[in-house]
Amino acid sequence: MRYSRQEILIGKKAQQKLRNSTVSIVGLGALGSVSANLLARVGIGKLILIDRDLVEISNLQRQDLFTEEHLCKPKASVAKEILDKINSEVEIISYFDDLNYKNINLIKSGLILDCTDNLETRFLINEFCIKNKIPWIYSSAVKDSGYVFNILPNKVCLKCILKDSKAEETCEISGVLNTITNLIASIQVNEAIKILTNNNPEKDLIFVNINKNELTKIKVKKDKTCAACNKKFEYLNGKKQVNFVKYCGSNVYKINKDFNFNKTKQNLKKLGIKDFKTAFQFKDMTIFKNSVLIKANSEKEAKSLYSKYMGN
Ligand SMILES: [Zn+2]
């Protein structure tokens, strides 16, 4: 009964295919929380979720899974709690973690949805999926428009059509409407269902502008010189990992350095931490096994906070 309305359209066999599928969602912001919600209701067998952020007040305008009572909690654990209530038939695994080349095996599954907000992670997913022959769906939204693109094994990849970009437009600077993020996530999930049920997924790059009510399908071609398609994996082997990142338009910095996670946790415990097991919060820092996110007003402040509490 639960799936009767969609079974009329997709059929019982396709429903069973969804039931037997595992889908990973990277990022639980505006796109990821909507996609996770839709996929749980659709009846995917298993969902793997990964996100590194805590719920903030500015998220509530568009991030469907979260409410005011979830502020300051990890999005990954809140999402699991809510999705378990929406559909207890779906197995939900969630990670409060920063996805990088060291832990990317966490998202190994039949299909990966990109709901991140940065190209570095997208290129990492791109290489991981080429290497493991996993289909994935790129999505992005900013202001009043967005993109969806299916990246299928041996077909056009993200690196074929997008080169490294330092000047990405971000929602923090340019803003974003909740209507476009919902629409883009809906298209992404609709394509996910097509991929999982072998039902003719879209080959073109989809562009939508909700202000003009325009949907454009853009033809894309494989780039023969594409490094990723030629299996030169610069992100997956860690070569492209930048050890100090400022997220454009926000006051968040990320530092990737080797340190002893357990020892650091023990030391900082005395000063008061919020323990989330796979990560912990200390002052304005979220400390993961391989990286630290720091809220600071300048690069100097971020670096000095790091060395003060984490060492050099
Ligand atoms: Zn390529």
Q: What is the pLDDT of residues 59-80, one digit of tens each?
A: 999 999 999 999 999 999 999 9
| Residue 151 alpha carbon to ligand 1 centre in Å | 10
Amino acid, single-letter form, for residue 25: I
pLDDT at 257: 85
- Rounded to whole angstroms, how far apart are CA atoms 305 and 287? 12
Distance from C-alpha of 43 to C-alpha of 26, rounded to nearest angstrom: 19
Specify the range with the lowest mean pLDDT, choosing from 106-110, 142-146, 184-188, 258-262.
Answer: 258-262
Q: Of the ranges 167-176, 245-254, 267-276, which one carries the lowest mean pLDDT score?
A: 167-176
Confidence of residue 168 (pLDDT cuts 50, 70, 90): low
Ligand 1 centre and the CA of 46: distance in Å? 29
- Ligand 1 centroid to 228 CA: how many Å? 5
Average pLDDT estimate for 151-156: 97
Between these two residues, 256 and 150, which has the higher pLDDT value?
Answer: 150
Residue 285 Cα to ligand 1 midpoint, Å, equals 36
Q: What is the mean pLDDT of residues 277-304?
A: 91
168 Cα: distance to centroid of ligand 1 (angstroms):
20
pLDDT of residue 166: 58
Percentage, residues of the chain above pLDDT 70: 98
- Taking the centre of ligand 1 as the mean of its atom positions, its distance from the CA of residue 107, in whole angstroms, is 21
Min mean pLDDT across 7-21, 144-158, 179-193, 263-277 is at 263-277
Residue 133 Cα to ligand 1 middle (Å): 13
Confidence of residue 242 (pLDDT cuts 50, 70, 90): confident
- Residue 25's Cβ-side half-sphere holds a number of Cα atoms within 13 Å equal to 31
Does domain 4-218 bear CATH number 3.40.190.10?
Answer: no
Name the pLDDT band for 240 (thresholds 50, 70, 90).
Answer: confident
Strands 22-26 and 46-51: parallel
Q: Look at the chain and count its residues.
A: 312
Contact 300, 308 (CB under 8 A): no
What is the C-alpha to C-alpha distance for residues 309 and 273, in angstroms, rounded to an integer? 12
Q: What is the mean pLDDT of residues 236-241?
A: 90
Ligand 1 center to 231 CA (angstroms):
9
pLDDT at 175 over 80: yes
Per-residue pLDDT band for 165 (boundaries 50, 70, 90) equals: low
Q: CA quadruple 103, 106, 111, 117: dihedral positive or negative?
A: negative
Question: For residue 250, is pLDDT > 90?
Answer: no
pLDDT bucket at 310, cuts 50 / 70 / 90 = confident
Distance 106 CA to ligand 1 centre (A): 23
Q: What is the pLDDT of residues 294-306, one digit of tens each?
A: 999 998 999 989 9
| 154 alpha carbon – ligand 1 mean position (Å) | 9
| Ligand 1 centre distance from Cα of residue 17 (Å) | 29
Give me ligand 1 centre to Cα 222, in Å.
6
Instruction: Say how many Å lie between the CA of residue 226 and the centre of ligand 1.
Output: 5
The pLDDT tens digits of the residues spanning 121-133 come to: 999 999 999 999 9
7/287 Cα distance (integer angstroms): 44
Q: Give me the sheet containing 291-295, strands edge to edge.
A: 244-246, 252-256, 291-295, 285-287, 280-282, 274-275
Ligand 1 centroid from CA 157, angstroms: 4
Distance, CA 234 to ligand 1 centroid (Å)?
13
Q: How far is the CA of 18 from the centre of ligand 1 (A)?
A: 28
Distance 179 CA to ligand 1 centre (A): 31
State residue 230 phi and psi, 5-degree precision.
-90, 15
Residue type, position 231, single letter = K
Average pLDDT over residues 197-214: 98
For 291-294, the CB contacts below 8 A with 24+ separation are 291/98, 291/100, 291/254, 291/255, 291/256, 291/257, 292/254, 292/255, 292/257, 293/52, 293/98, 293/252, 293/253, 293/254, 294/252, 294/253, 294/254, 294/255
What is the pTM assigned to this prediction? 0.93
For residue 159, the CA-to-ligand 1 centroid distance in Å is 5
Question: Phi first, then psi: what are they for 3, rounded to 5°?
Answer: -105, 15
Per-residue confidence (pLDDT) for residue 167, from 0 to 100 = 57
If you measure from the C-alpha of residue 54 to the centroid of ligand 1, how many angstroms do you get, rounded to a whole number?
A: 33
DSSP β-ladder status, 111-114 and 244-246: unpaired
Q: What is the mean pLDDT of the chain?
A: 94
The Å distance, Cα 229 to ligand 1 centre, comes to 4
| DSSP states along 74-119 | BHHHHHHHHHHHH-TTSEEEEEES---TTTGGGG-SSEEEE--S-H
User: In terms of pLDDT, which residue wins out, 220 or 311?
Assistant: 220
- Whose CA is closest to 23, among 9, 11, 35? 35
Q: Is 293 helix (H, G, I), strand (E, B) or coil?
A: strand
Which of 117-121, 151-155, 247-251, 307-311 is most confident?
Answer: 151-155
pLDDT at 89 over 70: yes
For ligand 1, the distance from its centroid to the CA atom of residue 195, given in whole angstroms, is 19
Per residue, the 3-state secondary structure of 110-177, as one string, reads CEEEECCCCHHHHHHHHHHHHHHCCCEEEEEEEECEEEEEEECCCCCCHHHHCCCCCCCCCHHHHCEC
